[in-house]
Amino acid sequence: MSSTFGKLFTLSTWGESHGGSVGVVVDGCPAGLPLCEADVQKELDRRKPGQSKITTQRAESDTVSFFSGVYQGKTLGTPIAMNVVNQDQRPGAYDEMRDKFRPSHADYSYQMKYGLRAVEGGGRSSARETIGRVAAGAIARKILTLATPIRIVAYVESIHGIRMPELSSAPNEEAVEANAVRCPDADYAQQMYDLIDAVRKDGDSVGGVIRCHVSGCPAGLGEPIFDRIEADLGKAMLSIPAAKGFTVGSGFEGTLLKGSEHNDLFEIRDGIIRTKSNYAGGTLGGITSGEELTFRIAFKPTATILKEQSTVDLSGNPASVIGKGRHDPCVLPRAVPIVEAMTSLVLVDHWMRQHAQNRCFEFQQ
Is 91 among the residues that bind its own copies (CB under 8 A)? no
Is the Cβ of residue 168 or residue 315 nearer to its own copies in the bound state?
315
State the angle between helix axes of 130-147 and 332-358 in degrees (0 to 180), rounded to the nearest 10. Answer: 50
φ, ψ at 198 (rounded to 5°): -65, -45
Is the Cβ of residue 207 or residue 333 nearer to its own copies in the bound state?
207
Shortest reach from residue 174's CB to its own copies, in Å: 25
Q: By the 8 A CB rule, do 250 and 195 touch? A: no
Is the Cβ of residue 187 or residue 225 nearer to its own copies in the bound state?
225
Q: Which of residues 25-44 bind its own copies (CB under 8 A)?
A: 25, 27-33
Is the Cβ of residue 63 or residue 178 nearer to its own copies in the bound state?
63
Which residue among 101, 155, 188, 193 contacts its own copies (CB under 8 A)? 101
318 DSSP β-pair partners: 312
Is 316 among the residues that bind its own copies (CB under 8 A)? yes
Q: Which of residues 264-283 bind its own copies (CB under 8 A)?
A: 264-268, 273, 275, 279-281, 283
Q: 240 preceded by cis ω (within 30°)?
A: no
Which residue among 206, 293, 338, 347 contacts its own copies (CB under 8 A)? 206
Query: Which DSSP letter does residue 88 get?
Result: -
Which residue among 51, 108, 175, 190 contacts its own copies (CB under 8 A)? 108
Kindly compute the dihedral angle of the four CA atoms of residues 40, 45, 47, 51, in this order, to the nearest 10 degrees: 180
Q: Which of residues 324-343 bind its own copies (CB under 8 A)?
A: none
Which residue among 35, 106, 164, 338 contacts its own copies (CB under 8 A)? 106
Is 118 among the residues that bind its own copies (CB under 8 A)? yes
Residues 6+ apart with CB under 8 A from 336: 46, 154, 155, 156, 176, 182, 210
Amino acid letter at 110? Y
Q: By the 8 A CB rule, do 163 and 157 touch? A: yes
Task: Output the CA–CA distances (angstroms, integers) from residue 16 to 23, 130, 136, 155, 336, in the order listed.
Answer: 10, 11, 18, 27, 22
Q: Which of residues 231-260 bind its own copies (CB under 8 A)?
A: 231-232, 234-239, 241, 243-252, 254-260
Is 364 among the residues that bind its own copies (CB under 8 A)? yes
Q: Per-residue string for binding with its own copies, 127-156, x by CB under 8 A?
A: --x-------------x--xxx--------
